[in-house]
Copies of this chain bind each other. A is one copy, B any other.
Amino acid sequence: MDNKSKIKSQKLKWRQTLILCMCYVSAVYSAPALSRNEPAGAVWIHYPGDYEIWLGNEMQNRRTERGAFYPPFWKMDSHYVLVDFLKTVELSQAEEIEIYAEGRYTVRMDGRYLYDVRGKMTVPAGTHTLVIKVHHQAAPPSILVRGKTIRTDATWQVTIADNQWTDESGRPYDVSSAASRHPNAAASAFDDPTVLPSQYRMATMPQRAVHSEEKGKGLLVDFGRETFGYVCFHRLKGHGELNIYYGESPEEALATATCETLDRIPVDHSTPRTLTLDDSRAFRYLYIEQDPGLAFDSVTMLYEYRPLEYRGNFRCNDELINRIWDMAAYTLHLTTREFFIDGIKRDRWVWSGDACQSYLMNYYLFFDTDVTTATILTLRGKNPVINHINTIMDYTFYWFISIYDYYLYTGDADFIRQYYPRMKTLMDFCLSRRNANGMMEGYPGDWLFIDWADFPMSKEGELSFEQLLFCRSLETMAVFARLAHDDSQAVIYEQAVEKLKPALFSAFWSEEKKAFVHNRLNGIPSQQVTPYTNIFAVLMDYLDASQAQTVKQRVLMNPDALKITTPYMRFYELEAWCKLGEYTSVLKEIRNYWGGMLKLGATSFWEKYNPSETGTEHLAMYGRPFGKSLCHAWGASPVYLLGKYYLGVKPEKEGYKEFSIRPKLGDLQWIQGNVPTPEGDIQVYMDHKQIKVKAGEGKGTLYFNSRTKPKTDKGTVEPDGTGYRLTIVAGEEYSVKGSF
Report which A residues bind B (CB closer than 8 A).
54, 57-58, 61, 65-82, 104-106, 113-117, 133, 135, 137-139, 160-164, 168, 383-384, 386-387, 391, 425, 444-445
> Nearest Cβ distance between residue A279 and chain B, in whole angstroms?
12
Instruction: Identify whether the interface residues of A are mostly helix, strand, loop, or mixed.
Output: loop
> Nearest Cβ distance between residue A257 and chain B, in whole angstroms?
11
Other A-B contacts than A73-B162, A164-B445, 10 sampled, CB-CB below 8 A, are: A54-B137, A67-B116, A69-B106, A71-B104, A71-B133, A72-B82, A78-B81, A160-B386, A161-B386, A164-B444
- Chain B residues with CB under 8 Å of A78's CB are 78-81, 137
A445 partner, pick from B81, B82, B161, beta carbons under 8 A: B161
Give Cα A168–Cα B385 distance, bound, in whole angstroms. Answer: 10
Give Cα A80–Cα B72 distance, bound, in whole angstroms. Answer: 13
Report the copy number of this chain in the oligomer: 2
Give Cα A69–Cα B115 distance, bound, in whole angstroms. Answer: 8
A74 partner, pick from B79, B113, B161, beta carbons under 8 A: B161
Give Cα A82–Cα B74 distance, bound, in whole angstroms. Answer: 9
Give Cα A391–Cα B161 distance, bound, in whole angstroms. Answer: 9
- Chain B residues with CB under 8 Å of A73's CB are 162-163
- Chain B residues with CB under 8 Å of A61's CB are 82, 104, 135
User: Which B residue sits closest to A57, measured CB to CB?
Assistant: B81
Is there an interface contact between A71 and B137, defined as CB atoms closer than 8 Å? no
Give Cα A344–Cα B584 distance, bound, in whole angstroms. Answer: 79
A70 partner, pick from B75, B106, B168, beta carbons under 8 A: B106
Give Cα A138–Cα B164 distance, bound, in whole angstroms. Answer: 27
> Nearest Cβ distance between residue A281 and chain B, in whole angstroms?
16
User: Which B residue sits closest to A66, measured CB to CB?
Assistant: B115
> Nearest Cβ distance between residue A421 and chain B, in whole angstroms?
10
A71 partner, pick from B58, B76, B82, beta carbons under 8 A: B82
Q: A78-B81, A445-B164 are in contact. Are A135 and B68 (CB under 8 A)?
A: no
A162 partner, pick from B54, B58, B74, beta carbons under 8 A: B74
A69 partner, pick from B71, B105, B137, beta carbons under 8 A: B105
A82 partner, pick from B75, B387, B425, beta carbons under 8 A: B75
Give Cα A75–Cα B79 distance, bound, in whole angstroms. Answer: 12
Is there an interface contact between B168 and A386, defined as CB atoms closer than 8 Å? yes
> Nearest Cβ distance between residue A75 and chain B, in whole angstroms?
5
> Nearest Cβ distance between residue A157 and chain B, in whole angstroms?
15
Is there an interface contact between B81 and A113, defined as CB atoms closer than 8 Å? no
A384 partner, pick from B106, B113, B139, B383, beta carbons under 8 A: B383
Is there an interface contact between A57 and B137, defined as CB atoms closer than 8 Å? yes
> Nearest Cβ distance between residue A133 and chain B, in whole angstroms?
6
Is there an interface contact between B161 and A106, defined as CB atoms closer than 8 Å? no
User: Which B residue sits closest to A104, measured CB to CB?
Assistant: B69
Is there an interface contact between B68 and A106, defined as CB atoms closer than 8 Å? yes
Task: Give 27 CB contacts A-B under 8 Å.
Answer: A54-B137, A57-B82, A57-B135, A57-B137, A61-B82, A65-B115, A67-B116, A69-B104, A69-B105, A71-B82, A71-B104, A71-B106, A74-B162, A75-B160, A76-B80, A76-B81, A76-B82, A76-B160, A77-B81, A78-B81, A138-B138, A161-B387, A161-B445, A162-B445, A164-B444, A164-B445, A383-B384
User: Which B residue sits closest to A78, measured CB to CB?
Assistant: B78
- Chain B residues with CB under 8 Å of A115's CB are 65-68
> Nearest Cβ distance between residue A544 and chain B, in whole angstroms?
42
> Nearest Cβ distance between residue A54 and chain B, in whole angstroms?
7
> Nearest Cβ distance between residue A392 and chain B, in whole angstroms?
12
Is there an interface contact between B117 and A68, defined as CB atoms closer than 8 Å? yes
- Chain B residues with CB under 8 Å of A75's CB are 80, 82, 160-161
Give Cα A65–Cα B114 distance, bound, in whole angstroms. Answer: 10
> Nearest Cβ distance between residue A424 and chain B, in whole angstroms?
12
> Nearest Cβ distance between residue A695 and chain B, in whole angstroms?
45
- Chain B residues with CB under 8 Å of A113's CB are 65, 68, 70
- Chain B residues with CB under 8 Å of A387's CB are 161, 164
Give Cα A72–Cα B162 distance, bound, in whole angstroms. Answer: 9
User: Which B residue sits closest to A117, measured CB to CB?
Assistant: B68
- Chain B residues with CB under 8 Å of A67's CB are 115-116
Which of A104, A384, A444 has most chain B Cβ within 10 Å? A384
- Chain B residues with CB under 8 Å of A133's CB are 71
Give Cα A293–Cα B244 distance, bound, in whole angstroms. Answer: 57
Give Cα A161–Cα B387 distance, bound, in whole angstroms. Answer: 8
Give Cα A106–Cα B71 distance, bound, in whole angstroms. Answer: 8
> Nearest Cβ distance between residue A109 and chain B, in whole angstroms?
12
Give Cα A114–Cα B70 distance, bound, in whole angstroms. Answer: 10
- Chain B residues with CB under 8 Å of A104's CB are 61, 69, 71
Give Cα A164–Cα B117 distance, bound, in whole angstroms. Answer: 48
- Chain B residues with CB under 8 Å of A160's CB are 75-76, 386
- Chain B residues with CB under 8 Å of A117's CB are 68
User: Which B residue sits closest to A446, measured CB to CB?
Assistant: B164
- Chain B residues with CB under 8 Å of A72's CB are 82
User: Which B residue sits closest to A159, measured CB to CB?
Assistant: B75
> Nearest Cβ distance between residue A652 and chain B, in whole angstroms?
38
A138 partner, pick from B82, B114, B137, beta carbons under 8 A: B137
Give Cα A67–Cα B118 distance, bound, in whole angstroms. Answer: 11
User: Which B residue sits closest to A384, measured CB to CB?
Assistant: B383
Give Cα A106–Cα B325 distance, bound, in whole angstroms. Answer: 39
Is there an interface contact between A445 and B163, defined as CB atoms closer than 8 Å? yes
> Nearest Cβ distance between residue A278 and chain B, in whole angstroms?
13
Is there an interface contact between B69 and A135, defined as CB atoms closer than 8 Å? yes
Is there an interface contact between A162 and B391, defined as CB atoms closer than 8 Å? yes
List 8 tightest A-B contacts by C-beta distance, closest first. Answer: A73-B162, A138-B138, A78-B78, A76-B82, A69-B106, A68-B115, A164-B445, A66-B115
User: Which B residue sits closest to A114, measured CB to CB?
Assistant: B68
- Chain B residues with CB under 8 Å of A76's CB are 80-82, 135, 160
Which of A77, A164, A383 has most chain B Cβ within 10 Å? A164
User: Which B residue sits closest to A162, measured CB to CB?
Assistant: B73
